[in-house]
Structure 1
């Protein structure tokens, strides 16, 4: 059972909720959207309004009868040039200020008039008053309810002695010095005047002026002091307002002009002019507003439910029910709700208790799960921050911040971004695996297609520092034939690199007959060789710090949809300071492409990349892999190629797809260049810049309009191709069969010398 204190607390709480609801309803927007809802301190509820809705041609008022004007300079609201002090939506009344009519001795009284079209002067809220010792107050009006054009008159006379008797109460207005008369019903066109009756012949000691005015009930209180100095020049008047000049029955037939909106009722005006809209019982709001009236939540306000009952709000009403375990009539005028002690209810109580315990356990489980999830997220965040620091993220950010515009060159991705891009690094997204890591196919949030490489680096600080330096340098490389590094992620245990996606596979995919039945033409192969040589030459000679790739091979040369070459996979690359000629490190690379000198000494330089590129040239010429374990005599392609060249068997080992009968000299020159690139001694190999220049010269000769057939001995061809230095320092004109024969003699001499 509830105690008396608890009952009082509940009643106070309900009262407070009711007051809050009433306050919210009072402050609720009652005007049309975008229209002024106030002018100074006066609220402007629709159907009244000022001006036009912003951005539309629709008026803020229902019709011209409700058109108001706001003087923003004085914050004054006007209705037909009459000052408005308040508008009541519930009472359908408007408070205005009217001038007082004044008539003085030897002067004509001032006639005052009020015409309000469809609004009427409230007969219940106003009165006509005359003040003076020799005063006749008269009103002239036309009664709308009588439906005629006759003018009607009424008024009163106020007289007094000089001076008035002391026993007369100066607070009344009963005829002595002040008189009053009721306002007839249904008047919207009225005039009034106050004049002298006897020309003040007996009251010259008082104010010789008379005053007449219509005024709001209970506002004016007479005083004899007003006979000497009347203090008002205007007084408040109440107008009753309604819509249109037709009845509810007539108005409801016209859906377009009908002013009453949803959840409202129509009431004919008691003054006989127009109709009014009110909210239905259980609803509140503005019945004229397009949104209509809305449901009142009676359960949040004082209602008729008994103490133990439950209130259920319904549309327009509410109901009271006894909660489970109680019985009786739930309303205050009934028996109320009392505890049900029947056996069936006890079983129900047990069920309710069990349900409550289950809900409590579920809440505890949810809370524990939430706390565990929050802790896991915090742990993951700390782990990402630690990985970021261990992977050199702070060092990278410092280096990038020192370069202007670094944010345009490389982006630091989050782990979540790359997990979403690869479907949490799904195995189905793997594009390939290599010695430097695994490459995944990814789609970023902005729909960019990328290749995401999960690197393989240990926790060695030196290794981390080298990796950061490589990322920093590669972020500045902008070459059309180098796969562009878009960014990296350092929040994971091992760094992730994000590259542009190249969609047409590797060079090996296009020249290996086991993978591609229709291999690419010699012209395309030569162009790919030129583009690859230019990219490697750029890394060696044009980068801010020379970069040695260390893993040049046909699987690291990607081709786009136009078969343009893109050098990729810089995981094994190293930076070579400008003051150093080589770097010593653990031997690393791919079998078949490794520089024999580097394999022997552990020292690599730019010539190591030249050797690897030479093997790629041999692959382009022969269509064979760099290493073929199934063919012992051809296990190492470079050695097999050199021995074939020594035995003058070039045409036997060439890929049948490359020879078309017109490119004999070009194939010879590329073969000679490849042989020079795979020299055992690095000092005897050309630089990548020289290789790129010679390959470009071969392409230029092929395209030169002056060169015809086998005429490659002209000055123009020599100029385009350049000269190839032989082993002894002599110069051999490239592009001739003589050069090829001379090269074979050089090979024979090397054999004789024991090389």
Structure 2
């Protein structure tokens, strides 16, 4: 048994009472350039003061510059997020505009330890037309604007689709290019660029300033260190950890990071760079303290909120010497037992207190308050979402044993578990906490807790008191429809009968979401990777992270464009208005996938044929659609039967949403004649029901 020793804790509490001057640079190095910019290690002024040549700062005329990155102006560092803000020159082709298309290249970060930060930047387009951000020819994101008389925005920092739009970038990247289209009758003039989100939201950066010839734009870069770097984190005040950054192409970059403990400030990357917060050190009798902290951009100006001193932990509180005059043997025995019992009790108390505070902090960080706010706004949600404890899920998965893993993805790992009541469940555990995605996570929990349909994945509950949020849903044993169609899992062929059955079940789920729930729900990300197959190969629609409730009176949602290329409704991409017909378009792509067995975006097709929807529609127009159908489909169905389904897919893929069918049953009884398939007669009205 490990005994608790109180004396090291006394030394810790005594040591934190001394307050020193914050240190950010290495000994003998300046930590400022000018009056307002702090330069913390691993950055430094000169080669001897920085981690390596990439982090050298050159101070000219009281202005710092990053020497290795074409002398970009250095604006500041966030040690907690491991980001640096630089001032980049405006890049534009407005001096030689092209009518239909212009392409802008970014700064090339290949070979450097820097990445364009995905969560600290916004992609902005100011002008009249469309802007698409690409990496190596692949589209990352984009947005489009509407303009009155083709004039650019004159309102400061208001980008909501009228002459100015904004969106996020999905991954960390090394370089990118921007393609501008539809810039007006005379070529127009538009600007698309990345900008640091804090500078944009706080108003220190103005959209109108971009039009100036000497415009500089603040941009946030993630700085990384080699994964095998040994860091001298602050002794006793910081932890060393490894962080994985998603590059978006199934690759990840690892970087070590020093993370400061609560109650400390300064530079965690220096051995002697951390100091205790003054308020905590001021507690009488070396008491413990409880607080919340807000840090400044470079960690140099922490602000303590909700501060309170805890119980006195001075040396006199750990017990006193035994009374003299008692028989020596009895005194020693009683004293040792007392010390052991007291030490163990204190150890358990400290441990439980720490775990309770940690669970409370995790619950708050993982969106617990957001979930409670949604329940307060809508009393019907109360009691519908089960909150599991971390102990329950650890027991269900044998402490998240590697043998229980069902699959890994870019967002996290899925484990198979069994609850105490015998239910088999799938437990989704994210890799890292992305606070920008908490709204999406809680949104999925709220929507799934209210949905009860045999073809929608059933949510059992969630756990918010762990380091990352956990989602507990029913276990679906046969994986995704995408894997069955394109990867040939288990070598089990999907018959035509089974494909139409899956299409019918998915359409039934969508009809339920659109028309049968008390508040209509738009899924917004229908695709084969979000359609799971149970033990009887029945379809289960999953992943409601981007779904939205709409009132009965609403006909559309106006949002930032989100979705998956290949399934995305072109009308939604152009207008940013999502309707129930946008889900119908995505379902049409799934239906074509079932008929052809091909991926929605293929590198084996060229030009406009790269998109499966366009490839299919051209084949229908040229009356050669049978040539692109899957061999199994052609073998098991007649030409007339397959053309009926193909015509349905064409209606769903109509570029004008008004002419697409809805998912309601009464509008879909278009084909009264039965189609003879392997297992018996089918009615096309059933296929429309989804």
TM range (shorter): 0.3 to 0.5
TM-score of the superposed pair, with normalisation by structure 2: 0.46
TM-score of the superposed pair, with normalisation by structure 1: 0.42
Rg larger in 1 or in 2? 1
Question: Of the two structures, which has the highest relative contact order with CA contacts closer than 8 Å and spacing of 6 or more?
Answer: 2
